[in-house]
Structure 1
Amino acid sequence: EPDKLIKKQQGPSPQEQIMLEGAAAKVARDKAGAAKDAAVAEKTQVETQLLPSDAKVKEATAAKTVIEAQLLPADQMLKAHAQDMARPTRSGAGGPTVSSH
């Protein structure tokens, strides 16, 4: 009965086991790569959707800066006028004085 003397292999050989583990690692790596690609695509899509809003914010900020720059001379004149009104007059009669700007 030579069959009883030969030990029958149970499961994969060590070489087959290494090949199976390598294949499993490759599948896991491929899945991780696909998940990363999907995340990058989603990030790009979200950023693309935000572009119009970002442009509106930048446009509004630029408009605000222009308006503030246009109002600056008037604001400075108002401050100077308020300071002139706060100074006592030489005659003591009150009222505005002529400033020499």
Structure 2
Amino acid sequence: MIDASAFKFPTGTQWVHLSKKYGNWRSIYNRRRMWAIDGTWERVFTALMAQAEADGGLSWAVSVDSTLVRAHQHAAGARKTWPRPQNRPIMPSDGLAAG
């Protein structure tokens, strides 16, 4: 189950397309989901981080990947087919100036 999860997320494959060597994809998905709900994954990662910290092998590196940022289809810079309305100048009213 752990090997299947380790394979699935870096490759981005869907659960249903997991290799048969990992077993039934529904069983793997359900067990992984239940471990997330009951806190098993959090306890595993906490224990692994504590062990790595004790061994001196824990270092943090943050990487931000902007290749997944998407723009709306209208943000592509295509030329508009209609003319933009002109701003009309605002003129003071004659009635207010005379009063």
Q: Shorter-chain TM-score: what band?
A: under 0.3
Task: Give the TM-score of the pair, scaled to structure 2.
Answer: 0.22
Task: Give the TM-score of the pair, scaled to structure 1.
Answer: 0.21
